[in-house]
Amino acid sequence: MEEQNTTFEKVNSWVKHSIMLKLATITILMLLLLIPTSMITSVIYERESLSVEAMNEVSSKWGGSQIITGPILTIPLVYEYLDKEKNATYQTQVNWYILPEELNIKGDVTPEKLKRGIYEIAVYKSDLTLSGKFNFEKNIDQTNLKQIKYDQAFITIGIKDLRGIKDHINFNWNKEAQTVKPGSKISDVVYAGMTINVPNIEEYLNTDIPFDYTLKLQGSQNMSFVPLGSTTNVKLKSNWDTPSFDGSFLPDNREVTETGFTADWKVLNLNRNFPQSWTQGEVKPSLESSMFGVNFLMPMDDYQKSTRSAKYAVMTIALTFLIFFLVEVLNGKKIHPFQYALVGLALCLFYILLVSISEHSNFNFAYGLSAAGIVSMITLYSMSVFKAKKLTLLLVTTLSGIYGFLFVTLQLADYALLMGSIGLTVILAATMYFTRNINWYKLNIETE
């Protein structure tokens, strides 16, 4: 009986004092804490998805992202072919598509913010003036050509989301007002838009035909243009101070200030991969592949920063546990695994606080408030565990350094990898320095 008690006491003493067992326990706790960390990451993704859903819902009612295409002049052609087997002729009609020689677009864009729950969505109203000229030659395939239906020629203006049109369109063709009708007759080229029948096309062969029209259009998220002109000039100005220019072409000139931005583009037909005119069936140009424009999206990088910060959870937990472990080793303070677990859960709580507060304020304020709350909570708890002000001060300094380092890394997105690798190297070097004189075998012997 005494031998059994002695054996049990030895095992119990080994469990309490074994350094290797303590390290194994801490490692297992860290791995277990990855479960709530991954759950928090899922919550961040879910909140970001809800924000996108709110944006899409508002866009579906106000008007979505807009792509302005046109005008495109279309002239029907009739070809006659001989069927030798049946000794009969048959006719087929195709469209002849002609793009403008010059296309000028000038506009004012006025964005505003709409709220859907706690989310803000950027929408805009715009007042655009489009002008230019057509000049076309009879340079089409004459083989088997039966008729050119100049009397059925029409103009097509493409607009992606027709719900955004807020006023009648006054289209002037050769300085004469024309009637604008809804719908696109050339859905293979322009899916949604308006059609304008244009008279007396044959009279203006090889001459300039000017056109102009105004467009009051509203939308959300993005406004883009397709450069159909042989020379396309676009000039935009807006009171939006955080534009994001995207598409196939960036502005040639732009100025962004606190009061808004101005930007202008010049795109040549040589810059895009479709011709100035073609007949139906010859080619199938992808017009939107050359579009360009500007985004008016609300900044959503708060969720991205929260997600990136959650990726550093393992480092934060590991370094904090390292401080507790070194306190145990160097100062003989016994810390129970349950106490490690509570501290680890507090560290995980930081990330859910961060994303929840940042939804109602800016990210920097949310980060500072969340970090201060967690550091204070762990500090107060460690005072009863360490029972030494110096050790508590060391922990506070370490936690403040960790969260400060993480904040700087999140702000320097382009240098995040560099900052992270340098920071981890410094941390490892410091750990090696402060533990250089520890005789780990002796610790095990003394604790047996």
> So what's the pLDDT on residue 71?
93
Token pair for 438? 């520890």
Pick the residue with more confidence: 409 or 129?
129
Residue 246 has pLDDT above 80, yes or no: yes
- Could you give the CA distance from residue 99 to residue 77 in angstroms, rounded to a whole number? 16
Q: How far is CA 444 from the centre of its chain?
A: 53
Q: Give the pTM.
A: 0.72
Residue 358 has pLDDT above 50, yes or no: yes
Cβ atoms of 44 and 53 closer than 8 Å: no
- Identify the sign of the CA torsion 296, 302, 303, 305: positive
Residue 216 CB contacts under 8 Å (≥ 6 apart), including other chains: 125, 126, 127, 128, 165, 166, 167
Among the listed residues 113, 135, 111, the one whose alpha carbon sits nearest the alpha carbon of residue 124: 111
> So what's the pLDDT on residue 102?
94
Q: How confident is the model at residue 426 (pLDDT cuts 50, 70, 90)?
A: confident
Fold held by 64-298: Immunoglobulin-like (2.60.40)
User: 13-17, 161-165, 246-250, 312-316: which has the minimum mean pLDDT?
Assistant: 13-17
pLDDT digits over 200-219, tens only? 888 888 888 999 999 999 99
> So what's the pLDDT on residue 158?
93
Question: Where, residue-wise, is CATH 2.60.40 in the chain?
Answer: 64-298
Residue 6 CB contacts under 8 Å (≥ 6 apart), including other chains: none
> So what's the pLDDT on residue 447?
43
> So what's the pLDDT on residue 104?
95
Over range 243-249, report the average pLDDT.
90
Rg of the Cα atoms in the chain: 35
pLDDT digits over 263-313, tens only? 999 999 999 988 888 888 777 788 888 999 999 876 656 777 888 888 888
